[in-house]
């Protein structure tokens, strides 16, 4: 056993990412487990307090909209790192790149010839009822037919330790700043652990993102002017907007800072006059981008922005309309997209999914609501879903009515035995459920870039499967660790 701190630690019925069922650490993390186990509770508590002070001093915050006054909270961080062997991660990264390539091909097709519908691979009724399909984007051809330049796909591991894709986020995926800041805090909390292990870096993300954005510029012969468009200080991800703009050296702008001229070019207003913008990394939802085209009452966008984009005078990332693939019903078809567009077998599997729009699958869901997790097609943040085994009879009946009223809007999945990772609580080290959001950056002139790991989110409440920070979850640093010294049989 690696140390007294692990006495009594167990996660029965789940795959634990550090301690195996026999009470011993997995081979790839044995040294790490021993070093952490050698620290007593007082030392671990002191390091947790140091991490908390670090987070406050750096102003790492997030906002919960349901809070009265929407007050910023300090980012919840657990000091025990989550570790994934590099031998496993290589396969996961390849699967993510494959998946995003198929998703971009699907989006390009949907706004183009719609071959996927004509060939019977994807039902037209799903598209017809999509809340994120933008008819205004039909016929557009972004550079390289890439629509989703930044994607955050959520991964989970089951009781065997196998990775599954839980969902894809292609509108305005957030969390990457916390991934990098988690690493900075972890280095200060556990410097000795970084000296003893070969850990994949995560701090290259801003430069990779900037290179990808610059590659989209409609003026390739000059250094592009890149701007990050934010909804403003009341957005829950505003910390990330400021962080990313600063890391990239990009302008942080709001809609009122931009102006579209008679030449259909976009400019920023400066004290020196107008300055042309070539690329906009937008963190504003489609419907608020341009009051000339979408919501006329939007105060977050810029009139004429879509004109400039359609004229090819500015690049927008992610492209408007990319959210058509950010739909949990569309998610269920992604394995078919990989086979259809790429002619390949999926490397990463979906979580088994029942589509309530299909009568036989809907009847199964209605008969097994006490066993399943039911999710609406376009909600995020863990909102609007039913966790059947923990719901009341009244809650299950309410969801049955919702499904019958609008079956296209719901999918169901089994209640997964999500993997656990050691987490420091007041009583010591305890298993808590985790997921993972890696980020994939796509560009026309280069293979996709996949982060080395991603943002690990942890359900801090005992027994909870909800990892979202807005609902009591926290996060961990994610280590992709060199395991070349272990045999295939020893790896996690």
Say what the alpha-carbon torsion angle 219, 220, 223, 225 is, to the nearest 10 degrees.
Answer: 40
Residue 261 placed within a domain? no
Q: How confident is the model at residue 108 (pLDDT cuts 50, 70, 90)?
A: very high
Separation CA 316–CA 213 (nearest Å):
9
Q: Please report which confidence band the pLDDT of residue 71 belongs to, taking 50, 70 and 90 as the band edges.
A: low
Report the CATH number that the domain containing residue 391 is assigned in CATH.
3.30.1490.270
- How does pLDDT run across 327-386, given as a tens digit for each residue? 999 999 999 999 999 999 999 999 999 999 999 999 999 999 999 999 998 776 567 889
277-324 tens-digit pLDDT: 999 999 999 999 999 999 999 999 999 999 999 999 999 999 999 999
Closest CA to 447 of 183, 100, 72: 100
Average pLDDT of the residues in 18-38: 91
Q: How many CA atoms, within 13 angstroms, populate the side-chain half-sphere of residue 304? A: 14
Phi, psi of 145 (to 5 degrees): 55, 30
pLDDT-derived band at 64 (thresholds 50, 70, 90) equals low
Helix (H), strand (E), coil (C) string for 95-150: HHHHHHHHHHHHHHHHCCCCHHHHCCCCCHHHHHCCCCCCHHHCCCCCHHHCCCCE
Task: Using the predicted structure, report yes or no on whether residue 491 has a pLDDT greater than 60.
Answer: no
Q: Give a yes or no: residue 395 inside a domain.
A: yes
* Cα(77)–Cα(475) distance, integer angstroms: 5
pLDDT (0 to 100) of residue 300: 96
- Residue 326 maps to a domain: no
Calpha distance 461→408 (Å, rounded) = 32
- Please tell me which residue, 341 or 171, carries the higher pLDDT value: 341
Dihedral angle at the C-alpha atoms of 378, 169, 267, 309, nearest 10 degrees?
Answer: -80
> What is the count of structural domains for the chain?
1
- Residue 35 has φ and ψ, to the nearest 5°, of -65, -40
Please give the backbone phi and psi of residue 58, each rounded to the nearest 5 degrees, phi first: -90, -5
If one compares 67 and 448, the residue with the highest pLDDT of the two is 448
Specify if 403 maps to a domain: yes
Q: What pLDDT score does 68 carry?
A: 46
Is 491 among the domain residues?
Answer: no
Q: Which residue has the tokens 């037209």?
A: 124
For 222-232, how does the pLDDT look when each residue is reduced to its tens digit (9 = 90+)? Answer: 999 999 999 99
Residues 400-424: tens digit of each pLDDT: 999 999 999 999 999 888 999 999 9
Find the mean pLDDT for residues 262-281.
Answer: 95
Q: What is the pLDDT of residue 1?
A: 43
Q: Which contacts (CB < 8 Å, 24+ apart) does range 129-132 have?
A: 129/408, 129/409, 130/324, 130/327, 130/330, 131/327, 131/377, 131/378, 132/171, 132/286, 132/321, 132/323, 132/324, 132/326, 132/327, 132/378
pTM (2 decimals)? 0.92
Q: How far is CA 349 from the centre of its chain?
A: 17
Say what the pLDDT of residue 417 is: 86
pLDDT band at 110, cuts 50/70/90? very high
**pLDDT over 90 percentage in the chain:** 76
Please check whether residue 324 lies inside any domain of the structure: no
What's the whole-number mean pLDDT along residues 96-107? 98
For the chain, the 3-state helix, strand and coil shares in percent, each to the nearest 5, are: 35, 25, 40
Task: Confirm whether 290 is domain-assigned.
Answer: no
**What is the domain range of residue 381?**
352-415
Tokens for 120, please give them: 């019977």
Closest CA to 346 of 354, 335, 333: 335
Q: What is residue 175's predicted lDDT score, i.e. its pLDDT?
A: 92
Q: What is the pLDDT of residues 133-165, one digit of tens each?
A: 999 999 999 999 999 999 999 999 999 999 999
Residue 140 domain-assigned? Answer: no
pLDDT of 470: 62
Chain segment 435-473, per-residue pLDDT in tens: 999 999 999 988 999 999 999 999 988 888 777 766 668
User: Chain-centre distance of CA 204, in angstroms?
Assistant: 17
């Amino acid at each position: 056993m690696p140390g007294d701190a692990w006495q009594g630690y167990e996660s029965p019925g789940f795959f634990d990412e550090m301690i195996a069922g026999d009470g011993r650490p997995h081979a790839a993390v044995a040294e790490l487990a021993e070093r952490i186990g050698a620290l007593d509770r007082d030392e671990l508590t002191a390091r947790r307090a140091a991490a908390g002070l670090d987070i406050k001093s750096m102003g790492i915050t997030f906002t919960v909209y349901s809070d009265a006054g929407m007050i910023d909270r300090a980012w919840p961080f657990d000091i025990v790192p989550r570790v994934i062997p590099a031998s496993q991660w290589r396969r996961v990264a390849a699967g993510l790149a494959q998946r995003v390539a198929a998703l971009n091909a699907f989006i390009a097709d949907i706004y183009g010839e719609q071959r996927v519908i004509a060939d019977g691979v994807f039902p037209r009724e799903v598209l017809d009822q999509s809340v994120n399909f933008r008819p205004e984007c039909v016929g557009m051809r972004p550079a390289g037919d890439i629509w989703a330049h930044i994607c955050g796909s959520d991964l989970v591991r089951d009781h065997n330790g196998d990775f599954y894709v839980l969902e894809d986020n292609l509108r305005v995926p957030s969390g990457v700043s916390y991934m990098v800041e988690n690493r900075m805090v972890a280095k200060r909390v556990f410097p000795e652990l970084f000296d003893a292990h070969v850990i994949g870096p995560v701090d290259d993300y801003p430069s990779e993102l900037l290179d990808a954005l610059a590659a989209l510029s409609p003026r390739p012969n000059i250094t592009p002017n890149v701007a990050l468009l934010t909804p403003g200080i009341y957005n829950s991800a505003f910390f990330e907007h400021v962080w990313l703009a600063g890391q990239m050296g990009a302008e942080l702008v709001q809609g009122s800072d931009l102006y579209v001229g008679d030449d259909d070019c976009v400019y920023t207003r400066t004290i020196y006059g107008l300055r042309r913008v070539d690329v906009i990394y937008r963190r504003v939802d489609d419907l608020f981008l341009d009051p000339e085209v979408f919501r006329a009452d939007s105060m977050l966008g810029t009139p004429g922005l879509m004109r400039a984009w359609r004229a090819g005078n500015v690049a927008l990332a992610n492209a408007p309309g990319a959210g058509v693939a950010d739909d949990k019903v569309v998610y269920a078809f992604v394995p078919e997209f990989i086979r259809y567009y790429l002619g390949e077998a999926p490397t990463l599997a979906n979580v088994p999914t029942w589509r309530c729009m299909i009568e036989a699958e809907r009847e199964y869901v209605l008969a097994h609501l006490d066993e399943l997790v039911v999710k609406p097609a376009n909600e995020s943040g863990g909102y609007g879903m039913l966790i059947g085994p923990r719901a009341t009879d009244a809650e299950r009946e309410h969801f049955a009515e919702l499904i019958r009223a609008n079956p296209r809007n719901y999918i169901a999945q089994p209640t997964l035995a999500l993997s656990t990772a050691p987490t420091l609580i007041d009583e010591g080290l305890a298993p808590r459920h985790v997921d993972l959001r890696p980020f994939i950056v796509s560009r026309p002139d280069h293979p996709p870039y996949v982060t080395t790991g991603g943002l690990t989110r942890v359900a801090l409440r005992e027994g909870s499967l909800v990892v979202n920070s807005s609902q009591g979850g926290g996060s961990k640093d994610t280590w992709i660790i060199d395991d070349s010294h272990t045999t295939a049989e020893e790896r996690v």
